[in-house]
């Protein structure tokens, strides 16, 4: 395996099985899972409905390719199109978030006949050659070579950067002025703005609500497309909204929406939703051999049905709200914590240093809690449990995190 494929933890962990919000390692230790394999185990581990759908489909046929009619794919596409809020939507399935964003970039650049892309500072959109070219977070962008001309826009982080001290309204106004200024200095058309409504790898940072609606007005005047990368924020995780873009909803929906991670609850599904004229603008063939595979689509359908029938968005809002409050209380007396932010079950805890974040990750694992980290400086804890999280589990996780934070303080 390559050196750059990093593992978490000094004493590395092999997870062998899971159930609900818990996982077990090969030593038989049980953990409360507050990271879900990077926000991907969206509903629960070993959810019987998904397991059944996958095994039944696997018993029928594993693969056909999209050269033949694929019923689970069509059913899932219809549901995603309807949920997306994009009128006359078309859906294309891929196998990852990277491939979804790559497709969005292909569509936008072909539609607009331009390779100029606006992206946010501190962004992450995937690992392909095109995706790293729009990744503002330098620790995830191993090359500056790119097929794209990328212009980075202010606004992804509310509490850092030159506009951090402004009020929300003034912050938005300054970012919009920056965008206008940037566009005024650009030659030829710009294809699209791509943005994560809440930056994932960036440490669960976000602008004030309404920024993307304000951007949208400027973009629309020039025909520039808006791509919302919902790989982490989709499907109700943020509690208040089904999609992250809805926090900026006045001028929504976006022209293109990308998704991945949680929809398959671990089955490898990614995808792009776009207006028909944008999706259909390619004048050559294109195919993803594994995209839309019947087994992953069956997983997605069962998972989405469960999510909607059990109102997991509502659960994310209620239990996530409680967890956020609890973590704010835990953090209040600690100088080590510089910010607790987020919404729904997507909560970032920023610490004074990256070393402190590593120490808290270790101390949490020792006490039976798995969490993630991120941020431009690697100094933010990322907390994103499966959306079925119970109040008791939220309390338990918060109590462990409190101990882990205190242990990190004492550790120095």
Q: Which residues of the chain form contacts with ligand PMP (CB under 6 A)? A: 38, 96-98, 101, 124-126, 196, 200-201, 229, 231-232, 260, 270
Q: Pick between residue 260 and residue 363 the one whose CB is nearest to ligand PMP.
A: 260
Q: Pick between residue 125 and residue 326 the one whose CB is nearest to ligand PMP.
A: 125
Asked if 271 contacts 92 with a C-beta cutoff of 8 angstroms, the reply is yes
Shortest Cβ distance from residue 263 to ligand PMP (Å)?
A: 11
DSSP element (H, E) containing 168: helix 168-184
Shortest Cβ distance from residue 56 to ligand PMP (Å)?
A: 25
> Could you write out the DSSP letters of every residue in 238-271?
TSS-SSGGGGGGGG---SEEEE-GGGGBTB--EE
Q: Pick between residue 195 and residue 337 the one whose CB is nearest to ligand PMP.
A: 195
Shortest Cβ distance from residue 129 to ligand PMP (Å)?
A: 13
Q: Pick between residue 229 and residue 393 the one whose CB is nearest to ligand PMP.
A: 229
Give CA–CA dist 407/412, Å, rounded: 9
Shortest Cβ distance from residue 288 to ligand PMP (Å)?
A: 13
CB count within 10 Å of CB 291 equals 24
Give the list of residues 6+ apart from residue 98 with CB closer than 8 angstroms, or none: 125, 126, 127, 128, 131, 270
Give the list of residues 6+ apart from residue 261 with CB closer than 8 angstroms, or none: 38, 39, 40, 42, 97, 231, 232, 234
Give CA–CA dist 187/176, Å, rounded: 19
Q: Pick between residue 183 and residue 370 the one whose CB is nearest to ligand PMP.
A: 370
Give CA–CA dist 142/133, Å, rounded: 9
Give CA–CA dist 90/273, Å, rounded: 6
Q: Pick between residue 228 and residue 330 the one whose CB is nearest to ligand PMP.
A: 228
Shortest Cβ distance from residue 57 to ligand PMP (Å)?
A: 21
Shortest Cβ distance from residue 325 to ligand PMP (Å)?
A: 26
Q: Which residue sits closest to ligand PMP, CB atoms considered?
A: 97
């Amino acid at each position: 395996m390559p050196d750059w494929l990093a593992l978490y933890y000094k004493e590395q962990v092999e997870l062998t099985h899971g159930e609900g919000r818990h996982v077990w390692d090969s030593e038989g230790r049980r953990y409360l899972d507050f990271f879900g394999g990077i926000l991907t185990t969206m509903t629960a581990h070993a959810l019987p409905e998904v397991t059944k759908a996958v095994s039944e489909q696997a018993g029928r046929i594993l693969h056909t390719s999209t050269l033949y009619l694929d019923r689970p794919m069509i059913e899932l596409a219809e549901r995603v199109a309807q949920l997306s809020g994009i009128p006359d939507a078309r859906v294309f399935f891929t196998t990852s978030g990277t491939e979804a964003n790559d497709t969005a970039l292909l569509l936008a650049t072909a539609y607009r006949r331009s390779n100029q892309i606006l992206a946010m500072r501190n962004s992450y959109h995937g690992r392909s050659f095109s995706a790293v070219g729009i990744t503002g977070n330098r620790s995830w962008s191993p090359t500056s070579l790119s097929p794209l001309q990328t212009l980075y826009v202010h606004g992804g982080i509310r509490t850092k950067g030159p506009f951090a001290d402004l009020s929300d309204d003034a912050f938005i106004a300054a970012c919009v002025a920056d965008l206008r200024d940037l566009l005024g200095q650009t030659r030829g058309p710009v294809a699209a703005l791509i943005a994560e409504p809440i930056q994932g790898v960036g440490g669960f940072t976000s602008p004030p609500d309404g920024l993307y609606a304000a951007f949208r007005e400027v973009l629309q005047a020039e025909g520039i497309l808006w791509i919302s990368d919902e790989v982490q924020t989709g499907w109700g995780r943020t509690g208040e909204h089904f999609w992250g873009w809805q926090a900026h909803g006045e001028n929504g929906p976006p022209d293109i929406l990308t998704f991945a991670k949680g929809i398959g609850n671990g089955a490898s599904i990614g995808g792009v939703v776009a207006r028909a004229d944008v999706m259909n603008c390619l004048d050559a063939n294109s195919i993803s051999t594994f995209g839309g595979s019947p087994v992953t689509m069956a997983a997605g359908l069962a998972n989405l049905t469960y999510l909607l029938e059990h109102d997991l968005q509502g659960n994310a809002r209620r239990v996530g709200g409680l967890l956020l409050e609890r973590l704010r209380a835990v953090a209040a007396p600690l100088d080590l914590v510089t910010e607790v932010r987020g919404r729904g079950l997507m909560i970032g805890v920023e610490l004074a240093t990256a070393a402190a974040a590593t120490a808290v990750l270790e101390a949490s694992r020792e006490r039976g809690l798995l969490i993630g980290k991120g941020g431009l400086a690697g100094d933010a804890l990322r907390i994103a449990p499966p959306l079925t999280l119970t109040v008791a589990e939220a309390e338990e996780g918060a109590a462990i995190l409190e101990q882990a934070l205190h242990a990190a303080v004492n550790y120095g």
